Each structure stands twice: as structure tokens, then as C-alpha cells.
């Protein structure tokens, strides 16, 4: 096809190719269908090849979402063309390449998944560097808008990599509805901030360029043609030479009618094969001799409906040409042709895993009509999902298993339960825990109809693991777990031998322990803890023991017995070098960090945070990156660095947005509430807090928060009314991850209101926190020493000696922890106590220290309050 216009765009692309060197260059060619993206990329490739650059090509399939498809094609082409010397595939690269994939362990850790994926992506980057060691390399990645999620993850990784080699990636993508892809848009947006990136957005050809493309055609009105086509090259080539009308399907039909009817039928059949197809498969699908079929395909090439791309492969001239041909076939005929193609693929490639995705796709499409094909379709979809899991492509595996479940026979409960379990595992490893919990719930219901004990226990354990979250009740899981235990015990009593029974029983015990703890069933939790710990000891499994300890420490001991928690935390430290699961190790470190925060050992905490940061970076876990950022945000606020705390709060929110099914808005709102308070800007948040309180899901925490806000801004009557229901209930609020935060808000409110009875009740309830730092959840916020709140309450009750002692302890602890914010808050309250005791000069001196230190740190609220004390 002629190359018309695009002179400026071609120059920009060639300049990008010429500049590739120490940093990999990226060229994005964007535009609507038919605008000439692939044609421009081909011209760039041709000229680069003439200059001695090695050119490799990979594309994304319109029908399939094959993991890493274009990169796999590029690597295969490079080996086939001798671009890189054949040799053993590096171990880190093996999961990428079908045939070298090992089946994934159902219990593989998500943390390990991300470490393996990172290593694989790095191996791909190193492979490109090796391929470009002697000659520059140009890699065309076509139709990125059709790319699988795993492909986009890999491209994002390569694009972020700071160093590189003389490699240029040229990527084409549609950027118009309905084909635009949000993740592709995000990739492009990220790329535009890099110096080595060129983004070329193609518009329509000019009138002169369009005339060159259309060629001499007597009597055609080019102005009318330009109005119809907007200069789109594909549409220009579809112009009817007789009347100037523009219609792709009509243009395809005009070219078709010039061909033999047999050629026309051949093209309709191969349109089902895909945008690109193999001669052998096409011959098998049409039941034709290859030489005989080549006559038809070559005729189609001459009619500009197909392109011969070499190596016995052909490609439709454009996706719109293919879709036009395919649309002429009824759905019934398409389904039957999919069946013929599936048989042809199996005949040509047998069980070659490299062709398993297309084999599974065509079999599934045929099985929609031909029920006899459904068992084999389910089997092939399942195998394709296993391969995708082995390639760490969990989103694609999820899609494949969803389709397998839809095609599985409705009366085969065992197969349906097994597929649901596998589906949930894929969703979990894709980070979609809430969705996975629902899927595991379906697996539980289906497994009940079977006598497969392991399946029933596995489904229950997986359901609990996917559904638990701090602050959530575990009641929904308890029934499933109790039933699973009964089934397991019954099978053992009947003499059945189960594989890995002890490990299965230990995992079930951990799940029951966590569910009981989160449900508040305290006495049963202790029994479950002892049982789970005993099973871990029998197994001699550090991972299991660490998991048991983490659950019990974080869900029970941190609320009740810090002395007992200390010995358990020490045991976690002993287990640390023995734990070989990154996720378990990070959970254990997280619990140790929280314990150090609670007991005020900030020197230990900071050392543990450094250790955790190193492990997180090695594991490349996005979730633990989010947790690490939360720890940094907590410390910035604790220290009183409000600007850094706000920056990190926004960073945490953005990281949460990048995690599947993670909502960071609640944590962000709480952090900003406290930051704005210390900036003395809390009144502006009142309308927002009122809105949140009006929604049931926000009432538990934000009703006390609104009451505190109102009390601090002088609206004491309204504050008393807002807090009245909680006060009348004796401040009986759920003891969960937010309990301490709610109690802090209530204590502040009662003190502001001068409610002596309420202060007395709260002081008793908060007494168990003496000797610790008040911390939200798993380390979201740290409010400093609990003695400050006890001292405030004692002061409001007029018990000045107690208040002095408690606030002195708080000041000492907050100062030792390095908190400018909370040490000065404690100092301010202590100055009030000393003033009430008649020590005015000492009180003024304390308030003056608060004023100066708070002003230096930008703590406007404390400055205002200190100045009020000194007035």
C-alpha cells in the first residue's frame, strides 16, 4: 500500500529511533481505526532496517487476551532470526514462555507472586539489552488497545525502567471510543513525563495527501470525500470510484465480487481464525490442500484484502476488513466454523501450550452451540488458565475460569466446585479479595453436594482468608469453618486417609482462630489459639506458627495484655530467620512494628521499619508498599511534620487506588481530619463530616468526630446533642481496630463539654491503655501516650494531683518518642494543671515553650491555644 503524507510524524519517529541509546526510547502512535498507525510503524521499521537496525514485531489479538503475546512473539522471532544466540532460557524468564511454565502452587503467596513477576520483568528487560548488544533494536508492538492486562503490566515495567540499551519500542493503539483502554491511557500519561518518549497522535490526511492516496478518479468531488472521510486513509481507500460514496463494508464487497466465489468463501472462513492466521491451520480448517488454498489467499492479497507477512502467515489488511467479512456470517455458522478451527488447531499443533489460548477460545465459542463440545471446552479453558497462572497472569486466568464455569455441566457439582475454587484462587492472586470471597462462598455451596473432604475444607479456609479485614466481623466465616471441621473430623473417624491432613487441619485452625477473634468470642479464641499453636508445633512449620502468633497478637493481645504480648512478639523475632514466605514474614514484622509503637519503643520501631522496607522492596509487593507508606505517614504525623504527613496521606490514597478493590478514602479522610485540626482549619471540615455521619457506614467513628469538632469550635450544645446516643449507651462502642480512635474523640468531647459524669466513665474505660501509645487500627495514626487523655479527664474531674502525674508521664513518653506534636499537647495540658494548682509562673513558662516549639513546627492550633493561656 502507498505511504502518503505523514512526513512530519515520520521525522519525529525517526528522530526518536536515532536517539535510543543509554535509555530505551518509546514511541506511541495513536489514533482512530484506519488512520494509519500500523502503516506509519511499518514505514519507521522499513527505514530503520535499511539503516542496519534489527526490527522485531509483536501484536495483540483482537479476540484473545494472551498473556504477554507481543513480547513472546518478539522473543521467538529473535531466536528464529538469529538476533540472539540460542541457549538455555534464564530461570527468571521461564514463566513467560509457554512450554517452560510449571503449574502454580495453589497456596503460593501473593508476595511471592509479585517478586517472581518482578524478576521475570527484569529478565525481559535484560533480554532486550542482550539482543541489542551488537546492533540497535526496534520493537513494534501493534494494537496495544487489545493487550492483555499482563502485557500492559510488563510494558509499564519496561517503560519505568531508568536504564536500558539502544532499543526503541514503537507502540500503536487506538485512543478513541469504544476502543480506548484506561490502562493504556495511564501508560501514555506516565510516558509523557519521560524525555525519551515521543507521542504521535495521527489526524486525517490533508486534501492534497488524500488526493494522492485516492489516485486519479474522474469526476470525484474531493471536498465531498474529505467531508465524509475526514482524511482517514482506510476510508479514503474505501471510496467508490463511480459515485464517491464511502463505506468500508461496500468497499470490501466491491473487492470481493472481483474474486472467485470460492475465494470469497475462503476469506469468510479465515476471518474467524483471527486478524492474523497460519496457512497450515487455514488449510486444515477448510479441508484444502495448502497449494490449492494458497491460490485463494494470493488472490486476496492481490485484491488488498490480505497481506502476506511471511513464514506461512497472512494478516487481514485491517481489522475493519476482517470484521466486515465476519459480519456476513450468521452466529450459527460462526459457531460451527469455530469448531472446525478448533479441530484444525489441535490437528496442527496438538497440545502445544503456545497455541492453547486460541485452542481454548475457539473450542469455547463452538461449545456455545454444540453442547457435546462443552466437556472438552471446559478442560481446555482450565488448562489455559493453569498456564496463565504459571505465567503470573492472574487476570487472564480469572477470565478463562469464569468462562469454564459458565460452560461446565450444571449437574456436576464436583467439577463446578473445583472450578469455583480455582476461580477464587485466581481472583485472590489478582488482588481481588472481596470478589474472591464471594466466589469461594459459591464453591462452599457446591462442595456441600460432594463427598470431597479436602475440597470442602479448602473452600472454607480460602473463604475466610479472602474475606477477613481488621474491623470486620468473622461471624460469616465461622459457620463455614465449623462445618468444614466437622467434615474433616468425620472423615478421619471413619478411617479415611487424607493427603496432608495435618497441614490442612493447621490451616483450618488458623482460620478459625482469626474468625473467632474478629467475632469477639473471647473464651473460644483462647482455646483456638492453643490448638492452632499445638498443631504448628507438631508440623514444625515456622510459617504456620508465625501466622498463629500474628493473628492472636494483633486481634487479641494488643487490646488486652501487653505483658503477655511481649513474649509472643519476642517469639516472632526468633522465628523471623526461619520464615520462608514473604507475606508471613511481612505480617510478622508489621505486628512487631505495631507493638513497638504501642509501648513507645520508637527506636526499635524505626529499625524494624527499615528491615520491613528492605523486605518489601525485595518482594516488590504493591500491598506491602501501601502498608509501608502508611507507616511513614503515621510517623510524620506523630512527629508533627504536617506538610509531610499530608503528602504521605495523599500518597497512601493513590497507592490504595492502584490496588484492586482497596478503598483508601476512609483512611485518607481520618488523616486529613487530624491534620486539618492541628493546622487549626477543622471548622471547614464540618459540612463534610456531617455528610459522612448521615451515612450509616460512617456513623460509628465520625459521630464522635463531629461531636469533637463542634465542641472545639464552640458549638457545645449541638456537640452534646450529637454525642448523646453514645453517652446514653455508656460509651459502649465495639472493641475493634477503631476503638481507641473513637474513645479519643469521645474523651476530647467530654472534656470540652465539662461533662463530669461522662469523663468519669471514659477514664475508667481508657484505664487499660495506661502505659501505651494510643494507636488507630494497624498503625494508621498514633495519638501519643494514653496518659495524656487520662490526665485530661482527671483535670476535668478536678483531680489535679492525678492529672499532674498522668500528664507528666505523657510528656516524658511523647518527648522520648520524638513527637513535637504530642509532647507539646501534653505540656499544654500540664501547664493548665499547674495553673489550676496556683503555679502561674511555671504554667506560663510551659505555655511559652509550647508556643515557640509549635510555631517552629507549623502547629497552628497549639500556637493559638498556648497564646490563649498566656493572654
**How does pLDDT run across 349-377, given as a tens digit for each residue?**
998 988 999 999 999 999 999 999 999 99
**866 contact partners, CB below 8 Å, separation of at least 6:** 828, 847, 848, 850, 851, 854
Q: Residue 17 pLDDT more than 50?
A: yes
Query: Over the stretch 482-506, which tens digit does the pLDDT of each residue have?
Result: 999 999 999 999 999 998 999 999 9
Rounded to 10°, the helix 756-766/786-796 angle is 150
What integer pLDDT is reported at residue 82 of this predicted model?
87
What confidence tens digit (pLDDT) does each residue in 272-314 have?
999 999 999 999 999 999 999 999 999 999 988 899 998 899 9
- Give CA–CA dist 640/817, Å, rounded: 12
Average pLDDT rounded to a whole number, residues 376-395: 96
Between 62-76, 175-189, 377-391, 426-440, the lowest mean confidence (pLDDT) is in 175-189
Dist CA 46 CA 48 (whole Å): 5
Closest CA to 457 of 471, 438, 443, 437: 443
| Residue 40 near residue 10 (C-beta atoms within 8 A) | yes
Q: Tell me how far CA of residue 694 lies from CA of 230, 671, 722, in angstroms.
A: 52, 20, 12
Instruction: Find residue 608's DSSP bridge partners.
Output: none
pLDDT at 107: 42
The pLDDT > 90 percentage for the chain reads: 66
Find, among 136, 135, 124, 130, the residue nearest to 160 by Cα: 124
Residue 471 has pLDDT above 70, yes or no: no
Helix (H) or strand (E) holding 159: helix 149-160
DSSP 467-486: H--TTS--HHHHHHHHHHHH
CA–CA gap between residue 629 and residue 637 (Å, rounded): 12
Expressed in angstroms, the distance from the first to the final Cα of the chain is 86
Sign of the CA dihedral with 90 first, then 91, 93, and 94 last: positive
Model confidence band, residue 137 (pLDDT cutoffs 50, 70, 90): very high
CATH fold of 7-203:
Rossmann fold (3.40.50)
Quick one: pLDDT at residue 2? 67
Sequence length of the chain is: 871
The confidence score (pLDDT) of residue 108 equals: 46
Q: Which range, of 187-191, 385-389, 394-398, averages the lowest pLDDT?
A: 187-191
Nearest to 234 by CA among 297, 323, 298: 323
| Segment 127-147 mean pLDDT | 93
| Degrees, nearest 5: CA angle 807-810-814 | 145
3-class state of residue 735 by DSSP: coil
The SS3 call for residue 219 is coil
Residue in the structure block whose three cell numbers are 463534610: 688
Mean pLDDT of the chain: 90
**Torsion angle, CA of 284/289/291/295, rounded to 10 degrees?**
-80
Task: Kindly give, in sequence order, each residue whose CB lies less than 8 Å from that of residue 614, ignoring residues fewer than 6 positions away.
Answer: none
Residue among 205, 213, 255 at smallest CA distance from 232: 205
Q: Are strands 25-31 and 54-59 parallel, antiparallel or unpaired?
A: unpaired
The dihedral over CA atoms of 591, 592, 593, 595, expressed in degrees to the nearest 10, equals 90
Cα–Cα distance, 851 to 857 (Å, whole number): 10
Distance between CA atoms of 408 and 776, rounded to whole angstroms? 47
State the Cα angle at 626 between 624 and 631, rounded to 5°.
95
CATH of domain 690-870: 1.25.40.10
> Own/partner pairs for 376-385, CB < 8 Å, 24+ apart?
377/404, 377/407, 378/404, 378/407, 378/408, 378/415, 378/419, 380/356, 381/407, 382/419, 382/422, 383/353, 383/356, 384/356, 384/357, 384/359, 384/360, 385/422, 385/426
Strand 137-142 vs strand 54-59: parallel, antiparallel, or unpaired?
parallel
The pLDDT of 166-193, averaged and rounded, is 87
Q: How large is the C-alpha radius of gyration of the chain? A: 33
Determine the number of helices (DSSP H) and then strands (DSSP E) in the chain: 42, 10
CB atoms within 10 A of CB 254: 15
- Using pLDDT thresholds of 50, 70 and 90, give the confidence band for residue 103: very low
pLDDT band at 406 (very low <50, low <70, confident <90, very high): very high
Three-state SS letters, 284-321: HHHCCCHHHHHHHHHHHHHCCCEEEEECCEEEECCHHH
pLDDT at position 446: 98
Cα angle 357, 359, 364 (rounded to 5 degrees) comes to 95
Q: Which residues are bridge partners to 276 per DSSP?
A: 315
Domains 7-203 and 690-870 share a fold: no
Query: Given a cut of 60, is residue 110 above it in pLDDT?
Result: no
The stretch 263-280 carries a mean pLDDT of: 93
Q: Is the pTM of this model over 0.85?
A: yes
Identify the band that residue 216 occupies on the pLDDT scale cut at 50, 70 and 90: low
Q: What is the DSSP string of 71-83?
A: HHHHHHHHHHTTS
- Look at residue 781 in the predicted model and tell me its pLDDT: 94
What does the pLDDT read at residue 100? 43
Q: What is the dihedral of CA 801, 804, 807, 813, to 10 degrees?
A: -110
Nearest to 388 by CA among 343, 661, 380: 380
In this structure, of 179-188, 572-581, 649-658, 755-764, the range with the lowest mean pLDDT score is 179-188
How much of the chain, in percent, has pLDDT values that exceed 70? 94
Query: Residue 25: is its pLDDT beyond 60?
Result: yes
pLDDT over 50 at 105, yes or no: no
Domain segments of the chain as ranges: 7-203, 690-870
Amino acid at each position: 500500500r502507498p505511504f502518503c503524507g505523514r512526513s512530519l510524524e515520520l521525522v519525529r519517529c525517526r528522530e526518536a529511533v536515532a536517539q535510543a541509546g543509554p535509555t530505551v526510547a518509546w514511541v506511541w502512535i495513536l489514533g482512530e481505526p484506519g488512520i494509519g498507525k500500523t502503516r506509519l510503524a511499518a514505514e519507521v521499521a522499513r527505514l530503520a532496517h535499511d539503516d542496519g537496525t534489527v526490527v522485531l514485531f509483536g501484536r495483540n489479538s483482537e479476540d484473545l487476551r494472551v498473556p504477554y503475546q507481543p513480547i513472546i512473539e518478539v522473543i521467538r522471532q529473535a531466536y528464529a532470526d538469529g538476533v540472539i544466540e540460542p541457549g538455555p532460557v534464564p530461570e527468571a524468564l521461564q514463566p513467560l514462555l509457554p512450554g517452560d511454565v510449571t503449574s502454580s502452587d495453589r497456596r503460593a503467596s501473593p508476595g511471592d507472586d509479585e517478586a517472581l513477576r518482578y524478576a521475570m520483568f527484569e529478565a525481559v528487560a535484560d533480554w532486550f539489552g542482550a539482543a541489542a548488544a551488537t546492533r540497535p533494536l526496534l520493537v513494534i508492538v501493534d494494537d496495544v488497545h487489545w493487550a492483555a492486562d499482563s502485557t500492559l503490566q510488563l510494558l509499564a515495567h519496561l517503560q519505568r525502567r531508568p536504564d536500558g540499551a539502544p532499543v526503541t519500542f514503537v507502540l500503536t493503539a487506538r485512543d478513541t471510543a469504544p476502543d480506548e483502554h484506561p490502562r493504556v491511557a495511564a501508560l501514555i500519561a506516565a510516558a509523557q513525563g519521560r524525555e525519551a518518549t515521543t507521542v504521535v497522535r495521527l489526524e486525517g490526511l490533508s486534501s492534497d495527501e488524500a488526493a494522492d492516496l485516492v489516485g486519479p478518479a474522474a469526476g470525484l468531488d474531493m471536498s465531498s470525500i474529505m467531508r465524509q472521510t475526514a482524511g482517514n486513509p482506510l476510508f479514503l481507500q474505501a471510496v467508490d470510484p463511480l459515485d464517491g460514496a464511502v463505506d468500508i463494508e461496500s468497499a470490501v464487497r466491491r473487492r470481493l465480487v472481483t474474486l472467485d466465489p470460492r475465494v470469497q468463501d475462503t476469506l469468510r472462513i479465515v476471518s474467524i481464525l483471527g486478524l492474523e492466521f497460519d496457512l497450515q491451520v487455514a488449510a486444515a480448517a477448510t479441508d484444502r490442500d495448502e497449494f490449492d488454498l494458497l491460490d485463494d489467499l494470493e488472490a486476496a492479497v492481490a485484491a488488498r484484502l490480505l497481506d502476506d507477512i511471511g513464514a506461512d502467515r497472512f494478516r487481514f489488511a485491517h481489522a475493519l476488513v476482517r470484521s466486515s467479512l465476519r459480519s456476513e456470517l450468521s452466529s450459527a455458522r460462526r459457531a460451527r466454523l469455530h469448531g472446525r478451527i478448533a479441530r484444525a488447531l489441535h490437528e496442527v499443533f496438538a497440545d502445544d501450550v503456545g497455541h492453547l489460548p486460541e485452542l481454548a477460545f475457539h473450542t469455547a465459542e463452538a461449545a456455545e452451540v454444540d453442547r457435546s463440545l462443552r466437556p472438552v471446552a471446559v478442560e481446555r479453558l482450565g488448562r489455559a488458565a493453569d498456564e496463565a497462572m504459571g505465567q503470573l497472569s492472574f487476570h487472564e486466568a480469572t477470565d478463562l475460569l469464569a468462562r469454564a464455569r459458565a460452560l461446565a455441566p450444571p449437574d456436576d457439582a464436583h467439577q463446578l466446585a473445583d472450578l469455583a475454587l480455582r476461580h477464587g484462587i485466581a481472583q485472590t492472586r489478582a488482588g481481588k479479595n472481596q470478589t474472591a470471597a464471594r466466589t469461594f462462598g459459591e464453591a462452599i455451596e457446591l462442595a456441600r453436594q460432594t463427598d470431597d473432604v479436602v475440597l470442602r475444607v479448602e473452600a472454607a479456609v480460602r473463604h475466610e482468608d479472602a474475606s477477613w479485614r481488621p474491623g470486620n466481623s468473622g461471624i460469616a466465616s465461622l459457620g463455614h469453618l465449623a462445618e468444614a471441621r466437622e467434615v474433616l473430623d468425620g472423615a478421619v473417624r471413619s478411617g479415611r486417609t487424607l493427603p496432608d491432613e495435618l497441614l490442612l487441619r493447621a490451616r483450618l485452625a488458623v482460620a478459625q482462630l482469626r474468625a473467632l477473634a474478629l467475632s469477639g468470642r473471647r473464651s473460644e479464641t483462647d482455646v483456638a489459639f492453643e490448638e492452632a499453636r499445638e498443631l504448628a508445633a507438631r508440623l514444625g512449620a515456622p510459617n504456620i506458627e508465625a501466622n498463629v502468633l500474628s493473628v492472636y497478637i494483633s486481634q487479641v493481645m494488643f487490646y488486652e495484655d501487653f505483658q503477655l504480648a511481649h513474649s509472643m512478639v519476642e517469639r516472632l523475632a526468633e522465628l523471623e530467620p526461619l520464615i520462608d514466605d514473604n507475606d508471613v514474614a511481612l505480617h510478622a514484622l508489621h505486628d512487631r512494628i505495631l507493638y513497638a509503637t504501642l509501648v513507645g519503643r520508637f527506636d526499635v520501631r524505626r529499625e524494624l521499619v527499615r528491615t520491613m522496607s528492605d523486605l518489601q522492596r525485595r518482594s516488590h509487593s504493591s500491598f506491602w508498599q501501601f502498608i509501608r507508606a502508611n507507616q511513614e505517614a503515621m510517623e510524620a504525623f506523630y512527629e508533627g511534620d504536617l506538610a509531610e504527613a499530608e503528602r504521605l496521606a495523599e500518597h497512601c490514597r493513590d497507592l490504595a487506588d492502584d490496588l484492586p478493590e482497596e478503598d483508601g478514602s476512609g483512611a485518607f479522610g481520618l488523616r486529613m481530619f487530624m491534620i486539618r485540626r492541628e493546622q487549626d482549619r477543622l471548622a471547614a471540615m464540618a459540612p463534610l463530616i456531617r455528610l459522612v455521619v448521615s451515612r450509616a457506614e460512617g456513623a460509628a467513628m465520625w459521630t464522635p468526630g463531629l461531636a469533637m469538632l463542634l465542641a472545639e469550635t464552640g458549638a457545645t450544645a449541638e456537640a452534646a446533642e450529637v454525642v448523646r446516643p453514645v453517652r446514653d449507651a455508656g460509651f459502649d462502642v465495639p472493641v475493634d481496630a477503631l476503638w481507641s480512635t473513637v474513645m479519643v474523640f469521645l474523651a476530647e468531647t467530654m472534656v470540652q463539654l465539662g461533662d463530669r459524669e461522662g469523663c468519669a466513665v471514659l477514664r475508667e474505660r481508657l484505664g487499660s491503655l495506661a502505659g501505651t501509645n494510643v494507636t488507630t487500627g494497624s498503625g494508621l495514626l498514633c495519638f501519643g501516650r494514653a496518659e495524656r487523655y487520662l490526665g485530661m479527664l482527671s483535670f476535668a474531674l478536678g483531680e489535679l494531683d492525678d492529672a499532674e502525674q498522668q500528664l507528666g508521664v505523657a510528656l516524658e513518653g511523647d518527648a522520648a518518642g520524638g513527637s513535637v506534636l504530642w509532647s507539646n499537647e501534653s505540656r499544654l495540658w500540664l501547664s493548665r494543671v499547674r495553673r489550676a494548682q496556683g503555679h502561674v509562673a511555671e504554667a506560663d513558662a510551659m505555655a511559652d515553650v509550647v508556643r515557640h516549639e509549635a510555631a517552629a513546627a507549623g502547629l497552628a492550633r497549639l500556637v493559638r491555644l498556648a497564646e490563649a493561656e498566656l493572654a
